[in-house]
Structures are given as structure tokens and as C-alpha cells.
Chain A
Amino acid sequence: MKTIKIALVGQPNVGKSFLINAMGDVKLKVGNFSGVTVEKKTITFSRDNYNFEVTDLPGSYSLTDYTSEERVTKDFLGASDYDLILNVIDSTNIERNLYLTMELLALDQKIVVALNMQDEAVKEGVHINERQLSKLLGVKCVQTSALEKTGIDELIEAIINTNKQSSQPFHLQYSDVYEEEISKITHFLEDKHYQTNTHLKSIAIKLLREDGETYHHFHDQPIWTELQPLLNKSYQHLYLHYKTKDLDEIFHDEKNALAKGAVTESVKFDTTKAVGLTDKIDAVLTNQFIGLPIFLFLMWGLFQITFEWGSIPMDWIDAFFGMLIDGTKSFLGDTELASVIADGAIAGVGAVVLFLPNIIILFTGIALLESTGYMSRAAFLLDGFFHKFGLHGKSFVPLVSGFGCSVPAYMAARVLKNDRDRLLTLYIIGFMSCGAKLPVYVLIIGAFVAEEHAGNMLFAIYILGALLGVFAAKILKMTVFKGEDEPFVMEMPKYRLPTLKLLYHTVSEKAWMYLKKAGTYILLASILIWFASNYPKHPDMEAQYASNIEQVVADENKVSKLNNELALYNLENSYLGMIGHASEPFFAPLGFDWRMAVALETGLAAKEIVVATMGVLYGLGDEHDEQSASLVDKLKANISLPAAIAFTIFVMIYFPCLAASMVFRREAGGWKHWGYLFVFTTGTAWILAFIAFNIASVIF
């Protein structure tokens, strides 16, 4: 069987994925384009004795390279590791879609155009004469509806036929002025017997657009000395004629004029069939006054559901892993092997799997927001506020998710298509205190704040974190991410109901990605942390305590006291304890002792562990939670108020947990950013905690 490699190209939301799925029994493989966090979807299926290998390129309005998605599309098309381009078009908005098609046609590749959403076009009174359009564009155009599965066979046939053809002649005919300059260049190249596989006209257009790569290519050749003056003369002509010195703009003008012309000649609009559902919905949802309250209500609902409903399966997962840990221990006995498997590996992986329900619910919500088209409306409503701090309207989803858990929040930052906007958002997500920090706050507040103020205090901590976050954004924007504002300009797509299948695919992809990647790192790291907190062993101390415990075996209180002492001794003298002691000088200016240092360091694994560690270190055994009255008393006795305040601030800001930081590394695009984030968060946390400690020491 023969294989046809297809590059699937189209503007966003034209139904590309849908159309491919309608073609048969497809197999989907999701990966990443190398070096960037852009999903690469490869779809394979066979039909009519052919294997089809489709690369679903990210939706792009035109072939530019401002966002990493656009760059991926442009580079892929340029590298031409494919047999033909399948350009999918939204028939209901054909003119704008043809702008992209005109750019593709200038690439000199085999192209088939699918005029998709034909069902909707008919309803909206858009009638396309596909034969006429095919003739005008010089490539086969086929009307399809991915929804009603019409035109699919014809499309496949067109693909197979086009693939068989040797190569399509360059068909587009630009304006006389532009054509004249093109032919000057092509004639020159012909005269020079310039050898190439690409159509000369396509090269000439690239030169007339000052395309960087093409320029580079010619620059190193002898032909350049004669070509350059020729080009300069052409540019001057164009400048004069178009009254602008922007060569890209000139090309776009040409291309858009062609698209307009093609539409005029091949499309009939029946204006009596005005459809205004989207307008009606928008009159409410983006209303100047009620739009924002509606949005806030929807977000509130989403987070309620995520963390309320999510907590139910989370309890099950927690119980399941608890059982697994107990089971492993009783099966393998009280051995080191049992401990590393149960307390290290299983507990660590369990901590990751625990967040799965949150992820699934939150991403179902986000997928709904995105696929219905509401996301753009929300960004529209919020951009004014966020832009003040150098953020983008769409930043709200990841930032608000950050209050639940940073892991899905980092993943949600992908809604931002622009690298700089996305990075900035990623860097400040940690300022939104996640759910796992709650126990720490509750514990500290319980120890130092009167009960009637506890609720307000907790709220204040969250607000303070968020405020610090937006100010940090402002500062980062003015320093590291400075430069021109990225354009906000964004399409408000038509409202659509997504299909269940689409939702399922989007959400399950996210869930798998989370489980696979975070899971492997966490597994390793958990084992490492287990090792650091359990080694080196101190057999003599253990023997001594064992005999001491035997003597008081009748008195349960004494036994547990001795057990705690032993646990404390072991932890203090473990590698982790040593690190804690070693890092004491670093934390001393903040008023922290080695125990608080260790608590913070174990908190790097997961923020929940901070409380558990403090429980052990302040001599209470590890079975304590934030409600424990005696732990509260111990803290009060051992920690000064200024140190407690500094500690709270440090926890609020410092490095996210292991699972989250691994996801951050992936989303931000490398260890470099992981390192920056570490320095940035730890540095900010230290400085602010230092200031707070010193101010508080003066006041109290």
C-alpha cells in the first residue's frame, strides 16, 4: 500500500480535526513538536488501498511566526516533509479563510481544499460554486460537512488524484504591477539557469516579500551581486505604486484582493437568511453590565464543582492508596523493601494520582469554555483589568485555577497562544495559594490568631498572595518580559455546542499527559526523598529506644512519647535533617530554626507535608493534622510571632511542589525556566519574609 502524507492546515475552528475523524477508522497519536510546547497530532488511517498519514497543524489565521503555534505551522510547511496540503475552510466565512489559502497557494505545493461546514453555509445562505472556485484557484475544492459526513468520499478521491499528478502549475495571477515585478525576477533566474525544484514564481514572491530564509539562501551565491540591484529596483517600483514601504503589506493586499475576487466570482450570498443566534447570546453574555457578573458566577460554579465534587473521588483514591500501602507492608513485612515501595513509591505516586479528579473536572470545564467560544468573550471582558498588570485577558483561567492546584493551572496556561504572555502567567501562578497550602495556614493561624479573626485572616492571606502575584507580574513585565505589548486582537468565534466525543478527547488527552509525565518524575523523586529522610540508619539508638520502650510497655503515653523521640532523632540525623541543619544559616535571618527549615524543604515535595513534618519535628509523632490542639500549643511555645508571620509569607510564595514544578518545567519549555522559577520564588519569598520578620519584630 502507498502512503500519502498530508499536512492539515486551516484557520482555527474550521472543523479540521472533525473532518479527519469523519474519514474513517482513525488512529490518533499525540506528541509535541520538538522544542516547543505545541501539541503535535498525527492521525493515520487507511482507505481505498492507501495509507494516510495526517499531521494536524495548529490552527493559524495566516502564515506568520509570532506565536509558537504559527511558527510550527510555517516551519512544517516550509520543510515539506509531506506529499500534499489539505486546506480546510469554514464555508460560512469563506473570504477570510481564503486569505490563508492564497498564502498556501504561493508555496507551490500540491493542495486540496475542503470547503467544510457546508451544512451551516446552506443554512446561512452561502452558496459556493465549487467547480468555479476550483478553476479560479487551480486546485481541487470539495464541499464537505464533517458533521453530516457529506463530501468525504469526494475529498478522498481528490486527495488521491492530486497526489498522482506530477505537480500543479503555478496558477495565481496577481495584479499587473505585481506580476511584472515577479516576471522580471523569474526571467533573470531563468537566464542564469538557476537550478531549483521550487517554482520560480514562488521564489520570486518570497524575494518580493523579503523572506528571511530565501534572502539568506541567495546571499551566499554569486548570483546575488546581480540579483540585489534588480530587487532594489523592483522594491522601488512597488513602493511607488502601493504608497507604502511595507512589502508584507503589499503582498497581503495582493493576496486579499485575489480572495475577494474569487469570492465575488464563485459565491452567492442569500442575504435574506440572516442568522443571529450568536448575536443574541452575545447581547447577554458580553453585555457591558451583566457580562462580568455572569462570568464571575460561571467561574465560581466551575471551581465549586472542581473542588467540591473532586473531593469525593479524591477520598476514594486516598483510601485506595492507603490500603495499597498497608497491604504492601503486611505482604512484604516490616522491611526496608516494603518501606521504599510503600512509603516511597506508592505514597509518592498516590499523591500525584490524587489530583486526577480535579484535573478531569477542571479541564472538562475549560474545554467547554473553549469549544463553545465563551473563552474569547471572557478574555474580552477581563482584558482591561489584566492588561494593567501586563497580563492578557485569557490569563484568568490559569490564575484562578491556581487557587485550587498549580498543576492544572500550569497546564491551563496553554490557552495563551503567545509565548511571552504564557511565560509571564506561568511565573505568577504560584502566587495564587493552592489548596495544599491551606493546612499550613490553618495551623499557623490556629496558633497565633484569635479564633474570631481566623476566617478573615485566612481570606487576607489569599488576597495578599493574589495581590503580590499581580504586582510581581507588573514587575516582571517591566524587567524580564519588557518590550512591546503583544497584540490582544482576537477572533470572537461563533457559538457552538461541542460534541461529547470532542470533550472526551480533549480531557482524556490532558489527563494522560498529566499522569504519564508527572508520574514518572514523581516516582523517582519520591524514592529519593524517602531515602533522604530514612538514611543514614542509627541502629544503636534504635536498639536503645527499643529496650526503653519495653520497660514502659504498659504505659501507652510513654510508649508513644518514646516513639516520637526516636522519630525525631532519626529525622534530625537523616540526610534531610542534615540539609535542614546546613540550611539553618540561610533561614536564620527570617527567624526560622532548623525544624522550620526542614518543614519547608519537605514541602518542596508536596505542601501538605509541611504540616506533617512540623508534627514530627515538634515532638508529636506523625499522626497529627492542623486541628491538633497540642501541636498548636507547641508551635506557640517554640515559634515567635514574627517568625510565624515570616513563615506564612515564605510558604505563600516559595517554590511549588514537585509535581507542579515538573509540569511548570514542561509548560515553560525547559530546565532553564525551572531554575529561574526556583531563584525567583525563593528569592522573593526570602526577601518578603525578611522584611515581614523585621517589621513584625519591631511592632510586637
Chain B
Amino acid sequence: MTLNMLKKGQSATIIAIHSEKELKNRFNSFGLIKGSIITVERHTLGGKTMEIRINKTRMALRLSEAETVEISA
């Protein structure tokens, strides 16, 4: 399962990140790494962007980017 499939309010643990280097590095610096727990805060109306929370960091990302993050529900 990938992060983009997660619904509002749901949490999951990250298993692996399959994005290319630049995106992976960005994820990394926000703490979006293997083993961290994420919660989905909300989606935008168009459904193309989502807001998630990791620890104390809230971050926004595109669903296309979330697709590269593998999670276990």
C-alpha cells in the first residue's frame, strides 16, 4: 500500500521510499523515513495534494509524490 491511498485521519508506518534522489532527500530532512509513523490530516478539494503529520512536523505533498512512499496500514 502506498501513502496516497491513506484516508483522512488514518495513520501508518513507512516501510520504504521508492522516489528518486531529490524527493527522497527532501522527505528525509522532514523525518519522512523508514519506520516513522505518519497521519493524514487532510486533502485538498481537487484531491491532488495532501497534508500529513510526522511527529511534530506538518507537511504538504502531492499525491503523485505520496505514491512513492510504501506504508503498512
Which positions in A face B, CB cutoff 8 Å? Answer: 61-62, 64, 66, 92-93, 95-96, 99-100, 246, 248-249, 252-253, 256, 278, 282, 286, 288-289, 291-292, 376, 379-381, 383-385, 387, 393, 484-493
Closest to B19 in A: A487
Interface positions of B from 2 to 28, Cβ below 8 Å from A: 20-28
**What residues make up the interface of B, taking CB atoms closer than 8 Å to A?**
20-31, 33-34, 41-49, 51, 55-62, 64-65
User: Judging by beta carbons under 8 Å apart, are A288 and B62 in contact?
Assistant: no
Question: Cβ of B43: which chain A residues have Cβ within 8 Å of it?
Answer: 288
Contact for A62 among B20, B28, B48, B57, CB less than 8 A: B28
- Measured between C-beta atoms, what is the minimum distance from A116 to chain B in Å? 15
Q: Counting chain B CB atoms within 10 Å of each CB, which of A61, A289, A291, A493 scores highest?
A: A61
Chain A residue nearest to B59 (CB atoms) is: A491
| Minimum distance in angstroms from B11 CB to a CB of chain A | 15
Q: Which residues of B contact A484 (CB under 8 A)?
A: 20, 22
Nearest residue, chain B, Cβ from A488: B62
Beyond A61-B30, A93-B57, A387-B62, 4 additional pairs, beta carbon < 8 A: A62-B28, A96-B29, A383-B49, A491-B60
Instruction: Tell me, in angstroms, the Cα distance from A303 to B23 when the chains sit together.
Output: 35
* Residues A248 and B21 in contact in the complex (CB < 8 Å), given A384-B44, A384-B49, A489-B65: yes
B55 to chain A: which residues have CB within 8 Å?
A: 93, 95-96
| Chain A residue contacts of B20, Cβ below 8 A | 484
B34 touches A253 (CB 8 A): yes
- Most-contacted residue by chain B among A92, A246, A289, A492 (CB, 10 A): A492
Task: Give the chain B neighbours of A99 by CB distance below 8 A.
Answer: 28-29, 31
- Chain A residue with minimal CB distance to B58? A492
Chain A residues whose C-beta falls within 8 Å of the C-beta of B61 in the assembled complex: 487-490
Q: Is the CB of B29 within 8 A of A376?
A: no
With A256-B28, A489-B30 already in contact, the answer to whether A96 and B56 are too (CB < 8 A) is: yes
In contact, B33 and A488 (Cβ under 8 angstroms): no
CB distance from A33 to the nearest CB of B (A): 21
For residue B64, give the distance in angstroms from its CB to the closest CB of chain A: 8
**A491/B49 in contact, CB under 8 A:** no
Identify the closest chain A residue to B20 (Cβ): A484
Q: Are B25 and A64 in contact (CB under 8 A)?
A: yes
Report the bound CA distance from A584 to B39 in whole Å. Answer: 64
Measured CB to CB, the closest approach of chain A to B33, in angstroms, equals: 6
- The interface centre, meaning the residue of A93, A252, A393 with most chain B CB atoms within 10 A of its CB, is A252
Asked if B44 and A488 make an inter-chain contact with CB atoms under 8 angstroms apart, the answer reads: no
Give the distance in Å from the alpha carbon of A92 to the alpha carbon of B58 in the complex.
13
Contacting residues, chain B, for A385 (C-beta < 8 A):
46
Across the A-B interface, the 5 shortest Cβ-Cβ residue pairs: A384-B48, A61-B29, A62-B29, A384-B46, A492-B58
Contact call B51/A286, Cβ cutoff below 8 A: yes
By the criterion CB–CB under 8 Å, are A487 and B26 in contact?
Answer: yes
A sample of 16 cross-chain residue pairs with beta-carbon separation below 8 angstroms, ordered by A number, consists of: A64-B25, A64-B26, A66-B25, A96-B57, A248-B24, A256-B31, A282-B41, A288-B43, A376-B60, A381-B44, A383-B48, A393-B49, A484-B22, A489-B23, A491-B60, A492-B60
Q: Is the CB of A383 within 8 A of B22?
A: no
